[in-house]
Chain A
């Protein structure tokens, strides 16, 4: 479904993603595991096309020069040069890190904004689906999103990404800043999302422990380079993963 080949991203002279290739099959949950500054967010931005927007903005203000090389194919079609909104229309939707929501709008309004391009019936369905998946959101449906807790905002952000109707959902650090209990809840929610909608997921995350057992395939990256690959449960037993991500 998604094929990434020889992807290289430079921020000025610093390399963020180094010769990375990966493949995502339909219906899978794929993880990109890496510590801080490994290049996870850059990878997600490149897959979703946001990098082109950053590139243009930096260029205009004479800031850092961003260089992107390599190819991204989605359903056999080359989308390497497509801007973010085109990719979202084709079904690649990114849920950015630090749960970005519209703080001054209510939960329902947030979902409606995200579903602006869908039909009215689809929006209604989508909102119901979000409330089914995340019962916490249903309880706060008319509350301002800015007043929700971090975990609830994360669930809302995932719900908003779902509203766009993705074929491939990219989650950037969905567990960031959440308590272990909240993390398990979000992981459960992510599994529910897959079960209900059959959407394909790519999750970038550094908290590997709650996530790894459920990953169909995981890519471990360090300093922008692939170091390990394999099905999630297999990697659980890998001594390197244990020492680097579980602190054993």
Chain B
């Protein structure tokens, strides 16, 4: 007898999709499990980690934010190769405000977040009409260009950068702020993407002409998405500036553009949670491999290739499918 494999939603998933989920603990637990457990896990990790690993976790959170900001942009149809632009602009705004005007980190970070968002949006506004590879090229070149401008004109400390900046306090405070921020950004933007506004952004990605024909000025909305994304990136930059107590040309380095994209490739695009998961795998992994010296990059690259070839949909998509659906053999009915 001919058989085929069938893939259907779990009963509990169907039930908990509805408001009736509120009537049963089991369904509520089913909904809460994938959301609460990672949050608790991250804070637990932070609590038990050594100072060194707590610092790594802070860095990881910032890369997660960069990856999320990449995914927001990509959801609105803008593929960027230059998250370093957002990161660097945020970092320099916070650094200069703190160094030259002596403003406390608790103020420079919010200012840099908003200011970085505005600056990056204004800088990229003229190229908003470019699509695909052309937009990506411009975003990739801009941070490299700014890096050279700083080197040539010697502004903001030139090649030496600005050091001796204020910190947020000790590493525990930094971790708390970083972890809270990651979860706030992740859940609020995930919420946003499921509202009508998020649907509009996804529509621009899917078929921008159809959105135009529906009477929307897509460039206006693209600029908004750009602002949201670059503000998230600028926050990461500003935060890292104060964590390192240093700002200099390396904040525009290619790392800050590449690792977020690698995280998206590993985690799975379009979900915001996927990129975050990806960076929580990749960044600590690269720290773990640090003892291997030169081989580190090789092994890192191999893992990256295996992940993208073996699970091109991304780990998050795979996990969520396993969580929500199951497979079984059924007889083929004619």
Contact = CB atoms under 8 A, between A and B. Distances in A.
A78 to B, nearest CB: 17
A69 B317 contact: no
Contacts of A8: 2, 332, 334
A145 to B, nearest CB: 21
Contacts of A69: 2, 4, 332
A62 B6 contact: no
Nearest to B334: A19
A224 B302 CA distance: 45
Interface stretch (A10-18, A157-165, A237-245): A10-18
Nearest to B333: A15
Contact of B6 (A13, A18, A61, A63): A13
A60 interface: yes
A8 to B, nearest CB: 6
Interface in A7-46: 8, 10, 12-13, 18-19
Contacts of A62: 311, 313, 317-318, 321
B312 interface: yes
Given A8-B334, A61-B312, A69-B332, A13 B7 contact: yes
A179 interface: no
Interface residues of A, number: 13
Closest 4 CB pairs of A and B: A62-B313, A67-B4, A19-B334, A61-B313
Given A18-B334, A60-B312, 10 more contacts: A8-B2, A10-B4, A12-B7, A61-B312, A62-B313, A65-B5, A65-B7, A67-B4, A67-B5, A69-B332
23 contacts: A8-B332, A8-B334, A10-B4, A12-B7, A13-B6, A13-B8, A18-B334, A19-B334, A60-B312, A60-B313, A62-B311, A62-B313, A62-B317, A62-B318, A62-B321, A63-B313, A65-B5, A65-B7, A67-B4, A67-B5, A69-B2, A69-B4, A69-B332
Interface of B: 2, 4-8, 311-313, 317-318, 321, 332, 334
